[in-house]
């Protein structure tokens, strides 16, 4: 019963982290849309987007309150509640500033007023985000983020195969936002550690993900979106795109594994039972970015029929090399079987005798 209670609490904690991961992603978008409508002097759109902005603010406060209910850090909870109260108080003021600007879009004073509230809102959201991150377990956050990025990567590959430029661009933007958030959270967490090998490895993995892996992926996305828009589908290399998408997921996994290297065996063991199935499921999905093996096989078969003959020959040559290497490896391993060579046979009997002699 105790174990079931702990498992249930862990699942509830991850559900809360899931809400945090979604709600605190691209928090400035509703504000920017509202300001753009106000600068254009479109009062009707300002009223429409003010509702969206207010709902966004309410969602931030709701999720922050939910995170407080799952945390036992009294100081952190007080900080989150204070920051959430500031967001609630500031939201109607931002909306009023947008309405004033929409009524007088050419007024310099109205624009400066809007800029002041924009800066204040961004600062308060940053404070709330950092406060929520402080009471949220980073292990749960990374596990949830990894799952979301895997899902988004699958959507990107599907959009690539269907030549859907809008979905591809939108989903890639979500991936970029999530990876940036992961890197920010991890680097903030590492500030609590002294300089050592563990900290260096975690920070390095986050830097590689942010400065290299995600930039390469976004570049591939831009090429694909432009090619689909211009009708030049042949300019897109599906294999390179899928490889860059896979590297994004592997980069997230590497960051998470690096963080877990600093955990004790007991901490990792407590999570292993629940996550074992998730890990295997993730591995099976990332192998082909599909939902099941038959769909993966069919997708691969369709893609291979579209490849140039030169690529097919290169793959066939690599397969032959792999078969040769595998055969040599199997022979090497077979030499060290219990009955495969004289040395093993000679040493086997004394080892068995010692098992009975030694206490």
pLDDT at residue 287, as a whole number? 41
Distance, CA of 114 to CA of 98 (rounded, Å): 6
Angle, nearest 10°, between helix axes 238-260 and 265-288? 180
For residue 303, give the nearest of 242, 262, 232 by alpha carbon: 242
* Radius of gyration in angstroms for the set of CA atoms belonging to the chain, rounded to a whole number: 27
> What is the reported pTM?
0.64
Q: Tell me what pLDDT residue 292 has.
A: 47
Q: Please report the pLDDT score of residue 140 as a whole number.
A: 83
The four Cα atoms 29, 30, 33, 37 give a dihedral, to 10 degrees, of -160
CA distance 165 to 71: 41
**What are the pLDDT tens digits along the chain (359 aa)?**
566 666 666 666 677 777 777 777 778 889 999 999 999 999 999 999 999 999 999 999 998 898 888 888 888 899 999 999 999 999 999 999 999 999 999 999 999 999 999 999 999 999 998 898 888 888 888 888 888 899 999 998 898 888 888 988 989 988 998 899 899 889 988 888 888 888 899 999 999 999 999 999 999 999 888 888 888 777 788 888 889 989 999 999 999 988 888 776 555 544 544 444 444 444 444 444 444 445 545 555 555 555 666 666 667 666 666 666 666 666 665 655 555 555 555 555 555 554 544 44
């Amino acid at each position: 019963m105790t174990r079931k209670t702990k498992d249930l609490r862990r699942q509830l904690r991850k559900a809360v982290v899931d809400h945090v991961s979604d709600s605190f992603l691209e928090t400035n978008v509703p504000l920017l849309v509202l300001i753009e409508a106000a600068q254009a002097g479109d009062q009707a759109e300002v009223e429409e987007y003010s509702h969206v902005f207010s709902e966004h603010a309410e969602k931030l406060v709701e999720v922050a309150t939910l995170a407080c209910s799952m945390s036992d850090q009294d100081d952190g909870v007080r900080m989150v509640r204070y920051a959430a109260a500031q967001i609630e108080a500031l939201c109607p003021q931002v909306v009023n500033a947008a309405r004033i600007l929409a009524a007088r879009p050419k007024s310099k004073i109205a624009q400066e007023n809007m800029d002041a509230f924009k800066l204040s809102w961004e600062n308060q959201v940053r404070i709330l985000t950092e406060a929520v991150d402080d009471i949220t377990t980073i292990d749960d956050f990374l596990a949830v983020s990894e799952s979301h990025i895997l899902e988004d990567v699958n959507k990107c590959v599907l959009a690539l195969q269907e030549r859907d430029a809008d979905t591809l661009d939108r989903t890639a933007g979500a991936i970029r936002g999530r990876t940036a958030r992961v890197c920010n959270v991890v680097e903030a967490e590492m500030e609590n550690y002294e300089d050592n090998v563990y900290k260096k490895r975690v920070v390095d993995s986050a830097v590689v993900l942010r400065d290299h892996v995600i930039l390469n992926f976004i570049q591939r996305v831009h090429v694909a979106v432009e090619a689909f828009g211009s009708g030049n589908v042949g300019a897109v290399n599906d294999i390179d795109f899928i490889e860059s998408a896979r590297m994004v997921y592997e980069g997230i996994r590497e960051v998470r594994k690096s963080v877990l290297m600093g955990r004790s065996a007991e901490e990792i063991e407590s999570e292993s039972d629940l996550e074992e199935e998730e890990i295997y499921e993730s591995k099976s999905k990332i192998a082909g970015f599909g939902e099941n093996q038959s769909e993966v096989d069919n997708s691969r078969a369709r893609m291979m029929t579209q490849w140039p003959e030169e690529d097919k020959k290169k793959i066939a040559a690599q397969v032959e090399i792999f078969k040769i290497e595998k055969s040599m490896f199997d022979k090497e391993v077979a030499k060290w079987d219990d009955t495969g060579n004289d040395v093993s046979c000679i040493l086997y009997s004394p080892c068995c005798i010692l098992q009975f002699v030694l206490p």
